[in-house]
Structure 1
Amino acid sequence: MASFDEIQQYCDTVCGQIRWKKAKPLIEKELKDHLYDQCDAYRAAGMSETAAIHSAVQQMGDAVAVGAALDGTHRPKPQWALLGLTGVLLLAGQFCSAVFGGAAEPVGFFMAAAALLGCYFLDFSLLARHTLPLYFAVLLGSCFGLLTGPQVNGTAWLSLGGFGFSMSYFAIVFPLLFAMLIYSLRGHGLAGVLLCGLGYLPLMFILIQISFVSGMLLFTLSALALLCFALARGWFGCNKAAGFALVLVPTAVVLGVGAFILLGHPYFSAQLALLADPYAERNGSGFLLCLVRDLLAHAQMYGTGSASAETAASLAALDHSSPDYLLTLMIYRFGWVALFVVLGVFVLFIGFAGYTLTKQKSMLGSLISVSVLSVLFLQCAFYFATNLGYGLFSAFSLPFLSSGNAALVLNAGLTGLMLSVFRSGACFYDQMPGQTSSPLFSYKNGALIIRIKN
C-alpha cells in the first residue's frame, strides 16, 4: 500500500502545480493510468511491485517540472474579443430600441447579458451527459406547448404562468438539440446517420405545426450543415460517400417535393408574384414591400433619405412592424453606411468565431459551435434579405440588435455557450464509443512523451 501511496503523492504534486481546476481530474487520471501501465510492464519484466512503482515514478521525472509544463498549456482561453463584441451589439440594440422603438428595453438587455455570461461560464460538457434526456424533454415540452398554448396571429405560443413567448423561437434552439443527438450517435455508422434523420422528423413536425416557414428552413439547413460536418470529420465511423448519399439524396428529394408543393399552394404562388412585382399590389399585400424598396431607392450614402412626403409619412408602418424592418429604417435614416457597418460587424463576429471553431478538436465542442454559428448566420441572412426588399418569408430577428426579449435571450445564451466551448474546449476529450483517446503520457523508444495539446 505504501508503494501505491508514492503514485498518489507524485500525482498530487503534479496537479498541485496546475491552476485550472477543471483540468486536474483529467490529468490525474491519465497520469495514473500511465504509471500503472508502466508498473505492469516493469512487473512483467521481473521487478517487484515496490521497485516497479518506484521506477515508473522516477521515469516520469521531477513532479514540479512536469506539473509546471502542463500548467503552461492547460489553461482556459478567455474570449474577451468575442465577448466584448457581443456586448457592443447588445448595447447597440438598446440604442436602436430607443431610437426606433421610442424607449430602450433594459429588462431584455439584462436578461440577455445574464444568459450570455451564465452560459459562458457554464461547463458545456454537461450537455454530453444528458443528450437523449435533453432531446426528449424539449420535444415533450414542445408538444405540451402546442396542445395548451394559445394561437396568436396563427402562431402557437408557449405560456407558463405570466410568461409567454412565440414557439417559433424554438427553431433557434432545435439545431443545438440536433447537434446533441448527432453527438450521442457518433461512431454508430450508417445506422447512426439514419437515426439522426429519424430524430430530425419530430422536431420538424413541431415547426410545421407552429406554421413558421422561416423556422423550418433555418432548422433544416442547420441540421444539414451539422450532419455534413460530422460526416466530413468521420465521426460516424462509416464510409463517407455512403453517408453523404444517405443524407443528401433524401434531402434533395424532400426539398424538391416541398418546393413543388409550395409552388402549387396559392399563398406561396402569390408571395412569389408579389416578390417579383410588389407594385401590382401597392395598396394591398404589397404595401410594406413597396415601402421598403421605395425607402431604399431614396436612401443616401450618409444621412436621412430623400423619399417623397407621402412615402416618408408611411414610415410609421415600418416603425409599427419593428423589429422586422430595423435595418431598413437604419439605412433610410442614417444612410447606406449603416448597412456597411452592421454587415461588417456581423462578418467580423461570424468570421472570427468560425476561425476559432477550426481550432476545436473535440466533437462535442465543434458540434455546439457549428449549431450556434449556423443559427446566427441564417438569422442574419433571412433578416438582410427581408430588409433589402427581397425576403420571400418572414424574417427572424437580427441577433442582438432587433428587439424582442425571447430572441435576444436565446441568441445571447447560445453565443455564451459557444464562447464557453472556445474558452475551455481544450480540456474536454471525447472519444468514439469503444475507443480510447490518445494518452496524455506515453513511453516510446526510451523517451517519455507528454501530450500537452489535445
Structure 2
Amino acid sequence: MNSSEQFKHYTEKVCEQIRWKKAHGVVAQEIENHLIDQKNAYMDMGDSESTAEEKALLQMGDPVAVGAALDGTHKPAPQWGMMGLVMVLFAVGACIQFLFLTDILDVGYRNSAYSIPLTAALFLLCFTAFIVAYFIDFSFFGKHPYLLPILLIVVDILAQLIGAESNGSYRWLILGPFSISPISISIIFPFAFCGILYRLRSKGKHGYLLSGVIAAAFCLVLLTFHSSGGILLFLFSAGILMITAAKKGWFGENTKPILLFLFVIGIIVMVVLLYTSPFRYRLARLVYIIHPETDPYGYGYMPSVLQGMLENSVFLGKGTPFLEWDVYKVILPTMYRTDYLLTFITYQYGWAVSIAIMLLLTVFLIFGFRKCFRQRSVLGQMVSLCILCTYTAEVLIYVLVNLGYPIVAPIALPFLSYGTTALLLNMALAGILLSTFRTGEVYQDKIKPVLHESKFIQWDDGKLIISFK
C-alpha cells in the first residue's frame, strides 16, 4: 500500500468501531490529519517516507482500541435541559388552554373552536411534530434549500385558489378539522430563507447581494398573502442572519458595503410604503394606539381594553372588575387564546404567573443563543440562529401587543398561545433547533465561500461605488 491507502485503511478501521455514523467524517479527517502531521515530523527528522509512515501508525496505536475509545466520546448530545424547557413551556401552554376552555364552557359558550377533544388532538399532533423534527437530520435543509420555499409558494397558491376567506383579505387553507393560517405560516419564512442563504455562500459577494434580492422577494410574498407582523418577523430574523454573515465573513471579506446598500434600499422602500395606500392608515393608527382615549370606539378600543385589563390586574389572582360587562363579552374568547393570551393570563391569574412564563421563555432563549454561537459549522449556526431569532421576534411582537400597543397583529407566543398552524410550526422548529444542537458538532460544511474580490460594489474613500461593468 502507498501512504494514503495505509492511512485510509487505518481510519476506516477506527471508524468501524464508532457506532454514530454521522461522526465518521469528522473522526476520519482528524485521524488522517494527525497521521500526516506525524509522518511529516518524522520525515523532517531524516526518516524515509515509508519509515515515517510506519512510525506514525505505530504511535497512533491499535485502530480498534482507538476507535473504541472515540466511540465513548462521539455520541449525539441529547439536549435534555433544552428539551425540558420546551416541554415545561408546552405543558404550561396546554394547562392554560384547558383551564381557559373549562372557564369558557362554564359561562355558557358553545362553539367547535372550544372543543376539548379537538384541542387535545392538536396538542398531541404538535408533540409528535416536535419528536419527529428532533430526529430529522437538520443538514437536509442546507442540502435542499429550495424545497421549503417551493412548498410555501404551493401552499399560498392553493390558499388563493381553494382557501376560505377570513377578515375580508386572508385566505385559510382548510384541511378537515384543521386549517392553515396565512398569518401563522409566516413563522417558517425565515427558516426557508436560511437554507438559500447558506447555499449562496459559494457565490461570494454576488451571492450575498442575491440573498438581499431574494429576501426582498420573500417580503413581497408576505406583504401580498400574509401579514405585516410576518414581514416584521422576517426582517428581524433575516436581517440578523445577514448581519452575522457579514461580520463572520461567511461570504468572504468586505460584504459590509453590500449590507449597507441593502439596508438603505430597505429603509427607502419601507418609507415609501408607509406613505402609500393601503399602508397610510397605519400611521394614523399609531396616534390612537398611543392615545386610545381619542378614539375609544374605533382604533383606540382594543388598546383601551388591554391597558384596562393590565391596570386592574393584581400580583396573584384575578384582577378587579373595571367594566360593566364580562371580559369575555368585550373581546371574543378565541382572541384571548391566540392574540391576547398574555394579557388574559395577567388579568385572570396575576402578574406573578405572566412574569414566571416570560422568565421561562427568556431562559430558553438565553440558553439557546449560548449554544448557537458554540456551533462549529456555519449551517448549524445559521439554522439555530434563524430559529432563535424567529422566536425572539414572535415574543417581542406579542409582548408589545399584549401591553396594549397593537401596532401589528401578533403571530403567536411560542409554545403557549393557541393556534393550529402557529403551535405546530413552533414545535417543529423547536425539534429542528434541538436536532442542530444534538448533532451539529460533527457536521462538516461542504459549501465553501468564494474569497475573490468582487468589483460590483466597492467602498472607497467614504463612497459607495456600484459598477455595472
**Please, what TM-score do these two structures have when normalized by structure 1?**
0.85
Stretch deviating more after TM superposition (57-66 or 274-283): 57-66
Give the superposition deviation at 1:39: 8.3
- Residue 343 of structure 1 corresponds to which residue in structure 2? 358
**Aligned partners of 2:322, 2:202: CA distance in 1, in Å?**
62
- Does the 8 A contact of 1:155 with 1:211 survive in 2? yes
- Does the 8 A contact of 1:186 with 1:192 survive in 2? yes
- Residue 443 of structure 2 corresponds to which residue in structure 1? 428
Secondary structure of 2:179's match? Answer: strand
Instruction: Indicate which of 352, 371, 374 corresponds to 1:359.
Output: 374
- Residue 10 of structure 1 corresponds to which residue in structure 2? 10
- Does the 8 A contact of 2:314 with 2:351 survive in 1? yes
- Does the 8 A contact of 1:330 with 1:338 survive in 2? yes
2:360 partner amino acid: V
> Is it true that 1:291 corresponds to 2:284 in the alignment?
no
Deviation by residue 1:150-182 (Cα, 9 ceiling, x = unmatched): 322121223457753122223111101111111
Change in CA separation of 1:72 and 1:219 when aligned onto 2, cut-off 3 Å: same
Deviation by residue 1:213-258 (Cα, 9 ceiling, x = unmatched): 1111111221111111111110000314323323322223223333
Secondary structure of 2:304's match? Answer: helix
- Residue 128 of structure 2 corresponds to which residue in structure 1? 114
- Does the 8 A contact of 2:251 with 2:450 survive in 1? no
Instruction: Indicate which of 345, 351, 357 corresponds to 1:330.
Output: 345
Instruction: Indicate which of 404, 411, 427 corresponds to 1:396.
Output: 411
> Is it true that 1:123 corresponds to 2:137 in the alignment?
yes
Deviation by residue 1:332-371 (Cα, 9 ceiling, x = unmatched): 1111112211111111111111111121121101111111
- Does the 8 A contact of 2:180 with 2:421 survive in 1? yes
> Is it true that 1:194 corresponds to 2:209 in the alignment?
yes
Change in CA separation of 1:336 and 1:34 when aligned onto 2, cut-off 3 Å: closer
- Residue 85 of structure 1 corresponds to which residue in structure 2? 85
- Residue 458 of structure 2 corresponds to which residue in structure 1? none
Stretch deviating more after TM superposition (97-106 or 134-143): 134-143
Stretch deviating more after TM superposition (302-311 or 335-344): 302-311
- Does the 8 A contact of 1:376 with 1:399 survive in 2? yes
**Aligned partners of 1:342, 1:119: CA distance in 2, in Å?**
24
- Residue 460 of structure 2 corresponds to which residue in structure 1? none
Give the superposition deviation at 1:295: 1.4
1:195 partner amino acid: L
**Aligned partners of 1:215, 1:48: CA distance in 2, in Å?**
62
- Residue 200 of structure 2 corresponds to which residue in structure 1? 185
**Aligned partners of 1:260, 1:283: CA distance in 2, in Å?**
25
Instruction: Indicate which of 201, 222, 245 corresponds to 1:207.
Output: 222
- Residue 448 of structure 1 corresponds to which residue in structure 2? none
> Is it true that 1:239 corresponds to 2:233 in the alignment?
no
Instruction: Indicate which of 241, 245, 269 corresponds to 1:230.
Output: 245
- Does the 8 A contact of 1:113 with 1:412 survive in 2? yes
Change in CA separation of 1:48 and 1:236 when aligned onto 2, cut-off 3 Å: closer
CA RMSD in angstroms comes to: 3.2
Secondary structure of 1:341's match? Answer: helix
- Residue 384 of structure 1 corresponds to which residue in structure 2? 399
**Aligned partners of 1:264, 1:397: CA distance in 2, in Å?**
23
**Aligned partners of 2:226, 2:3: CA distance in 1, in Å?**
67
Stretch deviating more after TM superposition (201-210 or 276-285): 276-285
- Residue 175 of structure 1 corresponds to which residue in structure 2? 190
- Does the 8 A contact of 2:179 with 2:421 survive in 1? no
- Residue 443 of structure 1 corresponds to which residue in structure 2? none
- Residue 388 of structure 2 corresponds to which residue in structure 1? 373
Change in CA separation of 1:238 and 1:146 when aligned onto 2, cut-off 3 Å: farther
Instruction: Indicate which of 124, 144, 149 corresponds to 1:135.
Output: 149
**Aligned partners of 1:354, 1:61: CA distance in 2, in Å?**
39
Give the superposition deviation at 1:6: 5.6
- Residue 322 of structure 2 corresponds to which residue in structure 1? 308
Change in CA separation of 1:230 and 1:318 when aligned onto 2, cut-off 3 Å: same
Instruction: Indicate which of 272, 277, 280 corresponds to 2:294.
Output: 280
Change in CA separation of 1:360 and 1:148 when aligned onto 2, cut-off 3 Å: same
Secondary structure of 2:173's match? Answer: strand
Stretch deviating more after TM superposition (270-279 or 346-355): 270-279
Stretch deviating more after TM superposition (236-245 or 215-224): 236-245
Stretch deviating more after TM superposition (141-150 or 390-399): 141-150
Change in CA separation of 1:242 and 1:66 when aligned onto 2, cut-off 3 Å: farther
Change in CA separation of 1:434 and 1:219 when aligned onto 2, cut-off 3 Å: closer
2:396 partner amino acid: A
Change in CA separation of 1:30 and 1:142 when aligned onto 2, cut-off 3 Å: farther
- Residue 94 of structure 1 corresponds to which residue in structure 2? 94
Change in CA separation of 1:48 and 1:282 when aligned onto 2, cut-off 3 Å: closer
Change in CA separation of 1:340 and 1:137 when aligned onto 2, cut-off 3 Å: closer
Stretch deviating more after TM superposition (76-85 or 406-415): 76-85
Give the superposition deviation at 1:420: 0.7
Over the matched positions of the two proteins, sequence identity in percent amounts to 33
- Residue 466 of structure 2 corresponds to which residue in structure 1? none
Which ranges of structure 2 fall in alignment gaps of 5 or more residues? Answer: 103-114, 452-469
Change in CA separation of 1:314 and 1:412 when aligned onto 2, cut-off 3 Å: closer
Deviation by residue 1:295-331 (Cα, 9 ceiling, x = unmatched): 1111111111112351545555252423211111111
Aligned length: 434
Change in CA separation of 1:313 and 1:13 when aligned onto 2, cut-off 3 Å: closer
- Does the 8 A contact of 1:6 with 1:54 survive in 2? no
- Does the 8 A contact of 2:94 with 2:416 survive in 1? yes
1:298 partner amino acid: N
**Aligned partners of 2:328, 2:174: CA distance in 1, in Å?**
34
1:244 partner amino acid: L
Change in CA separation of 1:423 and 1:272 when aligned onto 2, cut-off 3 Å: same
- Does the 8 A contact of 1:39 with 1:56 survive in 2? yes
Secondary structure of 2:317's match? Answer: coil
